[in-house]
Amino acid sequence: METYVSAMPLWAIVLFIAGFLYSIIFISKPVKQAALNAGMTPQKAKNIQLGIIIFYVAYLSYVSVFALMGVFDVDAIPPKVMVWAGFPLMVILFGFIGNTRLFKTLLRSITLESLIAVHVFRILGIFFIILYGYRLLPAKFAFSADLGDIITAILALPVARMVANKHPWRKAAVYAWNIFGILDIINLLTVAVLIGANGNLREMTIFPFVWFPAFAPATILFLHTVVFRKLYMLEHEQPVPFNSHLAPLPE
């Protein structure tokens, strides 16, 4: 009987699942702080954070069920995991969540540096190299996926620090870093389609590594566009007194 669970060692699977779930909590923390910055009660801020966690856990559970049934383990262009999971998540994030009044309120109150620093979670891309080490991913895909994620994650902290410290070059650094992060995802999707056409990316269609294509492209692209939206807000809206994180960035 064919199994739809990764051939990686159990320790790697457990570590990946734990790291991935923690990354969801990590992403939700700046949102909770933004709610507090906006004057919401601690309980409401906690509920918003919990809502994000519950949404993503439910979503990953849905993806996992279909992956374990072998639904995504077929050669198709576009990949079935993107049709059934990646694209729908993108529609939810860009088409609905990003246009709600609550989201816009939180965007006004969240700090730019926290939006950048949250990308540290992309260090999980190291699992692409681990998969390659076990001969479960082709080198071209593994290194294309891994290097971009790791570079973006490592640079997130110094760029966020430049913003927090009001470095003269912070605006240029944010734009360069943000564009690089977006191009990395676009490049990864392109390589995935080209290689996936030859049936060499099975690990990305079975549990648990199917979470990568189902979660990462939509979520990461959304987070990068949020950085641009925050930059636009900082540059075009009047600063709010006593809220330094809303002060506009100088040229």
Q: Where are the domains of the chain?
A: 10-246
| Residue 144 tokens, joined | 């294309």
CA distance 68 to 1: 13
The predicted pLDDT at position 219 comes to 97
CA distance 82 to 96: 18
User: What are the pLDDT digits (tens) for 113-144?
Assistant: 999 999 999 999 999 999 999 999 998 889 88
Say if residue 193's pLDDT is above 60. Answer: yes
Dihedral sign, CA of 130, 133, 134, 138?
Answer: positive
Say if residue 1's pLDDT is above 80. Answer: no
CA distance 93 to 222: 7
Torsion of CA 193, 66, 220, 15, to 10 degrees: -110
pLDDT band at 51 (very low <50, low <70, confident <90, very high): very high
pLDDT band at 197 (very low <50, low <70, confident <90, very high): low
